[in-house]
């Protein structure tokens, strides 16, 4: 048990004091694990504390409106996590009397809970002897065992899981799993890891064979698509405007934004104006482009290039807009959940 002993001793001396580590209650552990998917700890921590303040129990989260949940989530990205979080809270409250499932297999049945998250909750909350495998664990085990198979393909991931089971301390899996994740985050970092003071140094294949910088191996699969967004911000003399809710399963589902024309290629101004007239068959007093340079917003699989147009009109009436649209005063824009791209524009240009 050399591996587990070394990393748990390291963890005891170097671990960060994080609130979800000071409990065995499944709800905050689940909340933290969902939030920290694709998110750094320092970014996710304020959101975790904010959610617990508004929703101290899973029942409180279940009773909230989706709009409130999305608003509190605003800026954290990957909004499907928030929608799944809300749906799962409702399911646990309404079907399981507010009690979380207590095994990995049963946790896997929850919406938004995959292999890693189910293992983490089962281990941390219920001390089930199941290994967790996230990006940090992939890195530590790839280097320690010298695994040169891509960790984002099935063969590499299967071998990582075999090794994770092999080194797991089955008597104290919660401590072991916390330790290996923290070790990967702070010690065995992606770049410039602290190999010279690493307690695993003597048995680490990557260190012994000079492969630390090239492990773990990953094959790039995601093709980044570029989309051109042209937003139309209607404003009447009473400072009213229109926002609309995004529907479908694309990015920012159920978040609000200004009416938009999307293009796969950079459009000519005449194309933008044509879309504007088709969206708004009303008289427009003046049109002004708000941003001098296009606003670039990067997502994991999208490059968004946005322009914003201020359209002055005489008045906005109920019959001006469609079902998924909402009439708001500019002062109310901060009350609805919007993408970060939109929030930054509102803050800089409208408030």
Q: Dump the DSSP string for 220-278.
A: --PPPEEEEEEEEEEE-TT-EEEEEE--SSSTTTT-EE--EEEESSPPPHHHHHHHHHH
pLDDT tens, position by position, 300-351: 788 999 999 999 988 776 555 677 788 899 999 999 999 999 999 999 988 7
pLDDT of residue 320: 58
- The CA distance from 56 to 302, in Å, is 35
pLDDT tens, position by position, 258-290: 999 999 999 988 898 888 888 777 778 888 999
- The CA distance from 339 to 250, in Å, is 13
What is the rounded (10 degree) CA torsion for 274, 275, 280, 281? 40
pLDDT of residue 273: 84
Does residue 249 carry a pLDDT above 80? no
Q: Cα 208 to chain center, whole Å? A: 36
pLDDT tens, position by position, 11-44: 999 999 999 999 999 999 999 999 999 899 999 9
pLDDT of residue 221: 72
- The CA distance from 350 to 173, in Å, is 51
Q: Evaluate the CA torsion angle 30, 31, 36, 37 in order and state its sign.
A: positive
The residues carrying an active-site annotation are 33
Q: For residue 115, which of 46, 161, 151, 76 has the smallest C-alpha distance? A: 161
Interhelix angle for 80-95 vs 66-73, to 10°? 140
pLDDT of residue 287: 86
- The CA distance from 167 to 97, in Å, is 36
pLDDT of residue 319: 58
Q: What is the mean pLDDT of residues 83-106?
A: 97
Task: Report percent pLDDT > 70 for the chain.
Answer: 98
Kindly report the average pLDDT of the chain as a whole number: 93
pLDDT tens, position by position, 200-230: 999 999 999 999 999 999 987 768 899 999 9
pLDDT of residue 223: 81
Which string of DSSP letters, residue by residue, matches 81-119?
HHHHHHHHHHHHHHHSTTPPP-SHHHHTTSTT--HHHHH
pLDDT of residue 24: 96
pLDDT of residue 144: 98
Token pair 């409130």: residue = 68
pLDDT tens, position by position, 166-184: 999 999 999 999 999 999 9
Q: What is the mean pLDDT of residues 248-253?
A: 84
């Amino acid at each position: 048990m050399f591996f587990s002993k070394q990393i748990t001793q390291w963890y005891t001396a170097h671990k960060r004091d994080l609130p979800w580590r000071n409990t065995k209650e499944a709800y905050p552990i689940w909340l933290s694990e969902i939030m920290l998917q694709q998110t750094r700890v320092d970014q996710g921590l304020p959101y975790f504390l904010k959610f617990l303040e508004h929703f101290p129990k899973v029942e409180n989260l279940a009773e909230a409106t989706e709009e409130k949940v999305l608003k509190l989530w605003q800026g954290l990205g990957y909004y499907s996590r928030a929608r799944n979080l809300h749906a799962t809270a409702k399911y646990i409250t309404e079907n399981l009397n507010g009690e979380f499932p207590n095994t990995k297999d049963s946790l896997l049945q929850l919406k938004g809970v995959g292999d890693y998250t189910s293992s983490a909750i089962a281990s941390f909350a219920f001390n089930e002897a199941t290994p967790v495998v996230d990006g940090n664990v992939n890195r530590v085990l790839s280097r320690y065992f010298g695994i040169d198979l891509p960790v984002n393909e099935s063969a590499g991931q299967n071998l990582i899981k075999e090794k994770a089971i092999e080194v797991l301390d089955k008597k104290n899996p919660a401590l072991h799993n916390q330790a290996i994740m923290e070790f990967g985050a702070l010690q065995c970092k992606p770049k410039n890891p602290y190999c010279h003071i690493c307690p695993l140094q003597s048995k680490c294949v990557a260190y012994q064979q000079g492969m630390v910088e090239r492990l773990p191996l990953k094959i790039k699969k995601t093709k980044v698509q570029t989309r051109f967004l042209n937003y139309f911000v209607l404003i009447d003399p009473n400072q009213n405007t229109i926002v609309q809710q995004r529907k479908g399963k694309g990015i920012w589902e159920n978040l609000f934004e200004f009416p938009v024309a999307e293009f796969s290629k950079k459009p000519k101004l005449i194309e933008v104006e044509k879309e504007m007239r088709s969206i708004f068959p009303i008289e427009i007093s003046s049109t002004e482009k708000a941003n001098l340079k296009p606003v670039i917003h990067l997502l994991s699989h999208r490059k968004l290039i946005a322009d914003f147009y201020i359209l002055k009109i005489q008045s906005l009436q109920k019959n001006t807009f469609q079902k998924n649209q909402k009439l708001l005063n500019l002062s109310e824009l901060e009350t609805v959940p919007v993408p970060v791209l939109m929030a930054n524009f509102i803050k800089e240009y409208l408030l």
